[in-house]
Amino acid sequence: MAQSRAERLIRDLVGHAGVDIGGSRPWDIEVHDPRFYGRVLRDGTLGLGESYMDGWWDVDHLDDLVCRLRKVRIDEKVKFNWRTLSLVAAERLFNRQRKSMASVVGERHYDLGNDLFRAMLDRRMVYSCAVWDGADTLDQAQERKLELTCRKLGLESGMTMLDIGCGWGSLAKYAAETYGVSVVGINNSREQIALGGEFCAGLPVELRYQDYRDVEGLFDRVVSIGMFEHVGVKNYRTYMQVVGRCLRKDGLFLLHTIGGNEPSRHLDSWTEKYIFPRGVLPSVSQIALVSEGRFVMEDWHNLSVNYEKTLLAWYDNFRRNWPGIRAAYGDRFYRMWTFFLLSCAGSFRARSLQLWQIVFSKCGVPGGYRPLRWTQDAI
C-alpha cells in the first residue's frame, strides 16, 4: 500500500531521532492504526499522546522513544496546531492561574484518588523528585530528599515553617518529628489535606485548604516543593511577594521546582489537557527576574538526574499495583498514566527538563551559606 503524505512526513521526522516505524529496536514505533500519522501531524504532542491512549500505536520502551525525540526537539517541528496556539493566546490575554481558578489542578489531578497515589508513591507519599545517591529503594531515596531539604533549611527545634503546596504533609510530618519544627502547610487539594491531616495527627502540624495568596503570619522558614509549576508567569511576582511577607528577616526560603531550559508560558498541549491543567514550568531567567531585589540567592542545586529514576520507580509501582485499582480507573487511564510517567522520564533523561532546589535568604546569610548536596558526607 502506498504511503500517505502524512506517513512519509512522520517517518522522516522520527527518523531524525534514530527511530523507525515498524522497526525491531525497543524505541521503534509499532503503528496499529494508520490514522496515527495525520493525527500527530495535525495535533503534535496532543495527537501523539491521545493516539497512544487510544491504542493506535505502541513501543516497548516509551521513555527511550521520548528521550530520542526530545533530544532532536521534534516537538518544535509539529507544535503549531490550533490547541497550542489557543494556549499561547489564553496565557497572554488572561491570568489562567488567578485565585478563582487555582483549585482546578487540585480537583483534576491531586484529587484523582488517594488509592492511585498510594499505589504509586513511597510509604510517606512524597510526590516529588527523590535523592538516590546512597539509596537502594524509593522509600530510602525519598527520606534522603526530606533530610537534605531540612538540612538545607537549617531547621532547629522550636522553629516555625510554612510549607506552600504541602501535598499529603510528608515534609511537614518529617520536619515536625525529626527536628521539632511547627509547620503550617497549605494547598488546593481537599483529598491531600484530608489524608495528610490523618498522617500528621498529634504533631505540631496544621494543614489548610488555602490559596497561597491568602497566607498571613511570620515564619522562620518557608519551603515550597513541586508547587511553583502551578503558579503561572503572571503570578510569579505575587508569589515571591507573599513569601517575602511571610519570611522573617533572618529566615531562609527553599524553592523546589521542575524547570525548563528556556522561558515558557504553558505546558505542551497533551500535558495541559490530561495531567496538569494551567501548569507552566519556569526558567532560570524567569525565577531570577522575580526574585531579584527581594531575596539573596544563596544556592542553586540541579537534582534533575534523580528524577528519571524516581519516575521509573513510580511507574514500576503503578504497573505492579494496577490490578488493585483497575476497576476504579479503566484501561484508557492506564495508558494515559503510563504515557505521563514514561514520557516525563524520557524528558528528564534527555535533559530537556530540570529539577532545581534554590535557597534564598532575605538579606544574605552572615558569614555565608554552606551549600549541601546529596553526597554521603553531607547527609
Closest listed residue to residue 233, CA positions, set 364, 118, 90, 351: 90
> With 50 as the cut, is the pLDDT of residue 350 above it?
yes
Q: Which residue has the higher pLDDT, 316 or 379?
A: 316
Which pTM was predicted? 0.91
What pLDDT is stored for residue 377 in this prediction?
52
Residue 89 has pLDDT above 80, yes or no: no
pLDDT tens digits, 20-47 = 999 999 999 999 999 999 999 888 899 9
Answer yes or no: 67 catalytic: no
Nearest partner of 237 among 162, 163, 298, 292, judged by Cα = 292
pLDDT tops 50 at residue 326: yes
Count of Cβ atoms closer than 10 Å to residue 79 Cβ: 17
Q: Is residue 4 very low, low, confident or very high in pLDDT (cuts 50, 70, 90)? A: confident
Helix (H) or strand (E) holding 16: none
pLDDT of the residue at 86? 44
CB 360, CB 256: distance < 8 Å: no
Kindly report the backbone phi and psi dihedral angles of residue 194, in degrees, each rounded to the nearest multiple of 5, phi listed first.
-65, -50
pLDDT at 267: 84
Query: What is the arithmetic mean of pLDDT over 348-375?
Result: 93
The answer to whether residue 5 scores a pLDDT higher than 60 is yes
pLDDT at 197 over 60: yes
Q: Strand pairing partners for 159?
A: none
pLDDT of residue 378: 53
Cα 227 from Cα 167, distance rounded (Å)? 9
How high is the pLDDT of residue 375?
54
Q: State the cell numbers at 188.
A: 488546593
Model confidence band, residue 99 (pLDDT cutoffs 50, 70, 90): low
Residue 266 has pLDDT above 90, yes or no: no
- The answer to whether residues 68 and 19 touch, using CB atoms and an 8 Å cutoff, is yes
Q: Which of these is catalytic: 150, 166, 344, 363?
A: 344
pLDDT, tens digit, 9 for 90 and up, residues 204-216: 999 999 999 999 9
Burial per residue of 63-72, b for 16 or more beta-carbon CB atoms within 10 angstroms, e otherwise: bbbbbbbbbb
Domain 104-361: CATH class, spelled out: alpha beta
**Burial (Cβ within 10 Å: 0-12, 13-18, ≥19) of residue 204:** middle
Q: Indicate where the chain has its CATH 3.40.50.150 domain(s).
A: 104-361
Give me the mean pLDDT over the 296-300 stretch: 98
Closest by CA position to 255, among listed 355, 357, 373, 122: 357
* Mean pLDDT, residues 106-117: 88
Distance CA 2, CA 8 (A): 10
pLDDT of residue 75: 72
**Mean pLDDT score, 195-201:** 96
C-alpha cell read off for 101: 481558578
Q: How many residues does the chain have?
A: 379
Indicate if the pLDDT at residue 140 is higher than 90: yes
- Find the range with the poorest average confidence among 81-90, 209-218, 347-356: 81-90
Q: Per-residue pLDDT tens for 146-175?
A: 999 999 999 999 999 999 999 999 999 999
Q: Check whether 100 has a pLDDT greater than 60.
A: no
What pLDDT is stored for residue 229 in this prediction? 95
Q: What is the SS3 assignment for 252-270?
A: EEEEEEEEECCCCCCCCHH
Whether pLDDT at 118 is above 90: yes
d(Cα 98, Cα 250) in Å, to the nearest integer? Answer: 30
